[in-house]
Amino acid sequence: MKMQVSIDDKELRAFLKKFPSASAKEVGKALDAIGDAIRKTAIERISDTRNRSGKEYKIKKQGGKNFFLHTASAEGEYPAAITGNLANTINKNIINDSLVEVTANAVYAARLEYDLNRPFMAMSIEENDKKIAMEIEKAADRIVNL
C-alpha cells in the first residue's frame, strides 16, 4: 500500500520557479523530513499497543503452551501490533522534487487502512499536518535566503 504526499500548490510552484537552482534541493530536504515524520509516527503508534479499545484475545506464545493477552484496536484507532510485521514494512522514498511516498508493504496493510477502518497512514499524515506546513515554510525561507 502506498500513501503519497505531494507538494502540489499553484502558488508554491510559481514561487519555486523563481529560484530553480535552489528549490529542488531545499524542497527535497523538506520532503525527506516530512516522509520521516509520517513514517516515524506510523511506526510508533502501531508499536505502542496501550490505549486500545478493541476486543481482548488470548494468543498462544510461539513454541509454548503459555498465552498472552492482546487488546486489538477498534475502528478508527491505529492497528495494535502483535508481531511488529506491519511497522517493520513501513518505508519512505522520495519519488521526485515534489513527491514523497510512504509505503507499508505488509500484505494486509491496505485492508487495515481501507476495509477495517484502522487508517494508520491517513492518521499519521493528519497528525503531522503542522510539521508538513512548517517544513514547507522552512524550505521556502531557505530558498529566499540563499
In this predicted model, what pLDDT tens digit does every residue of 20-55 receive, in sequence order?
Answer: 767 778 888 888 999 999 999 999 999 998 889 999
* CB contact at 8 A, 106 and 42: no
pLDDT tens readout for residues 85-135 = 999 999 999 887 778 899 999 999 999 999 999 999 999 999 999 998 899
> What residues form DSSP beta bridges with 80?
none
Check residue 127 and give its pLDDT: 96
Mean pLDDT of 54-63: 87
- Beta strand 99-104 with 56-60 is unpaired
Q: State yes or no: pLDDT of 13 exceeds 80.
A: no
- Cα–Cα distance between 40 and 72 in angstroms, integer? 21
- Cα–Cα distance between 33 and 137 in angstroms, integer? 12
Q: Is 96 left (phi over 0), alpha (psi -120 to 50) or beta?
A: beta
pTM: 0.86
Minimal CA–CA distance to 119: which of 26, 38, 36? Answer: 38
